[in-house]
Amino acid sequence: MRTLIRHGTVVNADGPRRADVLIDGERIAAIGTSLPAEADRVIDATNRVVLPGGVDVHTHLDMPLGDIRTADDFESGTIAAACGGTTTVIDYATQTKGGSLRGALDTWMALAEGRAVVDFGFHMCISDLRPDVEAEMDAMVSEGVPSFKLFMAYPGRLMLNDGEIFRVLRRTAANGGLVCLHAENGDVIDVLVREALAAGHTAPRFHALTRPPLVEAEAVHRGIAFAELAGAPLYIVHLSSAEALGEVSAARRRGVRVLAETCPQYLLLSDEAYEGDQFDGAKFVMSPPLRSRETPDALWRGLAEGDLQVVATDHCPFLLGQKARGRDDFSRIPNGAPGIEPRLSLLYDEGVRGGRIPVERFVEITAAAPARIFGLYPQKGAIAVGSDADLVVFDPSGTTTISAATHHMRVDYNPYEGRTLGGAVETVVARGDIIVDRGRFVGAPGRGRFLKRAPFRPRSS
Ligand code: URP
Ligand code: ZN
Ligand code: ZN
């Protein structure tokens, strides 16, 4: 099957250009201005931009949390991703206490295979660092799971201590892995949470008040110091505050190999969402929490200047009924919010149309950089001859109105409810298949394939 996308503006991370794209089977076969018109299918992209399929490297699909699970499984979550222009996801598999990394990988593979509609990979969360687990990390790297999430928060459940974090970093320095760090000081947070509850402060806004920016910045600083000591690269996940960004920027200026991701919620929302004592704020209970109204400007600057490299979603959807278990105690509200679907539209509207970043930087932070950092480039993240034919035909003069009534995520609220955004995802091609046709999902569940990723390689340029 040959598909020709004609008359569009192709945007890669190095800039836009007018060109047609010829797809042959699953790959891009040619890019140019005078391609032969014979094809089985032609997509007219006049007045459209043609983007590499989005790469979302931070999702939690079908994730267990005690006796509940996140609301999207790999089918509904990746359908929503596809409708928003994302054609690759990397989800977090999590080791159980006493369990092995292999066991976690098998569990998550069984959740994804046969359901995912876009290609997927996994990071591995380490929650129990026994010596055998440390050794198992090498096998994960060689089997295409070369990134490991470590938690500095959630003591007793997921948190590793400083020595354990250092051991994992040293192992990755040797085996080509990359640590993805959840940087919040869990012990300090626990003290603040206990004090707040003892004082009768139970409303959702106390979630944010007990996780102030300094507990994030301190953890980022500590994580960077350990990475420097270990001689390992480091990737900070879901960075949310100007204070934490300051630590990353300072380290990068010293030449430390630290990379960082932020998320649309930190770029577009603020802690005003928690105002009052109404329980509505539970929709925005996530860790780290939303920050001050000034924070988005600082984070956008970080993205524009290069100290932040990636915007991923941290899609972690819980139903309002699940959030309600924390009605009388904010610390019992399941942490996380939905976001896998509107990432590209939100960032295009606020970032490109809003004049904060050029369109090629938008492609870099949503597709090229995440693919490069996580060992998928140029198979993913680029419109290039030989790359997978993952493309988005995006209408910059269309509009997208966000609502839980129309979104594809299987969750009963949307943090951006009612916003109308400039720009619309029109057609999405994944490995040569049209999976979204003029806004309608037409793909097949189970067509997504596991992506065996390459070890981390620092960029030479
Ligand atoms: O609140 C959040 N972010 N929940 C998802 C788990 C995590 O820490 O990324
Ligand atoms: Zn996290
Ligand atoms: Zn997460």
- Ligand 1 centroid – CA 139 distance (Å): 26
Pocket residue to mutate for ligand 1, from 56, 59, 60, 216, most atoms within 8 A of Cβ: 60
Enter the CATH code of domain 53-58+72-373. Answer: 3.20.20.140
Q: What is the pLDDT of residue 312?
A: 99
pLDDT, tens digit, for every residue of 221-253?
A: 999 999 999 999 999 999 999 999 999 999 999
- Ligand 1 centroid – CA 337 distance (Å): 8
Nearest to 178 by CA among 73, 310, 367: 310
Side chain identity at residue 315, one-letter code: H
Residues with beta carbon < 5 A to ion ligand 2?
182
Q: What is the pLDDT of residue 37?
A: 75
Which ligand has an atom closest to residue 317 CA?
Answer: 1
Q: How far apart are CA 175 and CA 186, in angstroms?
A: 28
Strand, helix or coil at 50?
A: strand
Fold of 2-51+380-441: Urease, subunit C; domain 1 (2.30.40)
Q: How far apart are CA 387 and CA 379, in angstroms?
A: 5
335 in ligand 1 pocket by Cβ < 6 Å?
Answer: yes
**What is the number of the ligand 1 atom nearest to the C-alpha of 287?**
1
Position 192 pLDDT exceeds 70: yes
Tokens 């620092």 belong to residue: 458
For 66, 207, 413, the CA distances from 332, given in Å and listed in that order, are: 11, 10, 19
Q: What is the pLDDT of residue 460?
A: 43
The model's confidence at residue 457, banded by pLDDT at 50, 70 and 90, is: confident
**What is the number of the ligand 1 atom nearest to the C-alpha of 285?**
1
Q: How far apart are CA 16 and CA 418, in angstroms?
A: 31
Pocket residue to mutate for ligand 1, from 56, 286, 323, most atoms within 8 A of Cβ: 286
Hey, where are the domains in the chain? 2-51+380-441, 53-58+72-373
- Ligand 3 centroid – CA 348 distance (Å): 22
Position 461 pLDDT exceeds 50: no
182 in ligand 1 pocket by Cβ < 6 Å?
Answer: yes
Q: What is the pLDDT of residue 448?
A: 98
Q: How far apart are CA 69 and CA 33, in angstroms?
A: 49
Angle formed by the axes of helices 162-175 and 131-142, nearest 10°: 30
- Ligand 2 centroid – CA 155 distance (Å): 13
Q: How far apart are CA 11 and CA 65, in angstroms?
A: 39
The model's confidence at residue 344, banded by pLDDT at 50, 70 and 90, is: very high
Nearest to 427 by CA among 6, 125, 96: 6
- Ligand 2 centroid – CA 438 distance (Å): 34
**What is the number of the ligand 1 atom nearest to the C-alpha of 60?**
5
Same fold, 2-51+380-441 and 53-58+72-373: no
Nearest CA to ligand 1 atom 9: 314
Q: How far apart are CA 326 and CA 316, in angstroms?
A: 16
pLDDT, tens digit, for every residue of 398-437?
A: 999 999 999 999 999 999 999 999 999 999 999 999 999 9
Q: How far apart are CA 208 and CA 272, in angstroms?
A: 11
pLDDT, tens digit, for every residue of 27-83?
A: 999 999 988 878 999 999 999 999 999 999 999 999 999 999 999 999 999 999 999
Q: How far apart are CA 1 and CA 364, in angstroms?
A: 29
Rg (CA), the chain: 21
60 in ligand 1 pocket by Cβ < 6 Å?
Answer: yes
- Ligand 3 centroid – CA 149 distance (Å): 9
283 in ligand 1 pocket by Cβ < 6 Å?
Answer: no
- Ligand 2 centroid – CA 151 distance (Å): 7
Which ligand has an atom closest to residue 236 CA?
Answer: 2
- Ligand 2 centroid – CA 40 distance (Å): 45
91 in ligand 1 pocket by Cβ < 6 Å?
Answer: no
Cis peptide before 378 (omega within 30 of 0): yes
Q: What is the pLDDT of residue 459?
A: 59
336 in ligand 1 pocket by Cβ < 6 Å?
Answer: yes
pLDDT, tens digit, for every residue of 113-152?
A: 999 999 999 999 999 999 999 999 999 999 999 999 999 9
Angle formed by the axes of helices 295-305 and 242-253, nearest 10°: 20
The model's confidence at residue 307, banded by pLDDT at 50, 70 and 90, is: very high
Residues with beta carbon < 5 A to ion ligand 3?
314
57 in ligand 1 pocket by Cβ < 6 Å?
Answer: no
pLDDT, tens digit, for every residue of 239-291?
A: 999 999 999 999 999 999 999 999 999 999 999 999 977 899 999 999 999 99
Nearest CA to ligand 1 atom 7: 287
- Ligand 1 centroid – CA 64 distance (Å): 12
